[in-house]
Amino acid sequence: MNSPTFPQFTTTTLGGGVHINGLAKILGIYDAKVKLKSINDHTISFYIYTDTKPHICPRCNLSTSKVHDYRMQKIKDISFHNKSCILFLNNRRYHCSGCGKHFYESYDFIAKYPHRTNRLTKFIAGSFFDTLNIKQVSIRANVSSHTVYKVLSTLNNSSSGIGEAISIDEFKGNVGI
C-alpha cells in the first residue's frame, strides 16, 4: 500500500532576506523552518528548525555562536483541523567561551519554561471570555485542567479602584411609624 503524499510548501522571501515557508506561516512561526512530521486520526505533528545565530550569554553578556548540544523538545499547540497539534523543536544549547555557562536558545513563539506555544496560552486565557469553566476550557484546548490552572495563575486580573458608592442593605417601608 502506498503511503499518502503531502503537498510541498514553497518558500518565499520577505523583506531583508528572511525566508518563510507556508507551514510556518500557517502556524504563526516566523523565525523557524517547519516540516510536516506525521498525521494520524488524532494528531498532527511538525518538526521546527532554526538557523544558528549569535546569542547573548545570560551570565556575562558576551555574544556566542558556539553550540554545545541539541535536544528535541515536544511543544503543544492549539488544535489544527480538530487534531492535537504537537511541535517538535530541535532546541539548541549554546556554550559561552567567556564564563563556561550553557544556556538554551530563546524563541519568540514559546515561553522559557512551559511546553506550550504562546498561542495556546492566549487561546486558553481567551476561552474564559466565553464563560466556560476550567474543565470546559481544558477540553476545548485539549490540555489538562492543571495546565489551565497554571495559565490562570499567570494572568494579571487587577482592576482599577472602585469609586465611592452608597449601599443600602435593607429597606422596609411599612415600619408602622
pLDDT of 58-111, one tens digit each? Answer: 999 999 999 999 999 999 999 888 899 999 999 999 999 999 999 999 888 888
Kindly report the number of other CB atoms within 10 A of residue 96's CB atom. 21
Provide the grid cell at 171. Answer: 429597606
Residue 173 CA to residue 88 CA, distance in Å, equals: 70
Largest interatomic CA distance in the chain: 94
Kindly report the number of other CB atoms within 10 A of residue 80's CB atom. 16
Per-residue pLDDT band for 20 (boundaries 50, 70, 90) equals very low
Closest CA to 23 of 43, 48, 40, 41: 48
Decide if pLDDT at 6 tops 60: no
Exposure pattern of 100-128 as b/e (b: 16+ CB <10 Å)?
ebebebebebbeeebebbebbbebbbebb
Per-residue pLDDT band for 14 (boundaries 50, 70, 90) equals very low
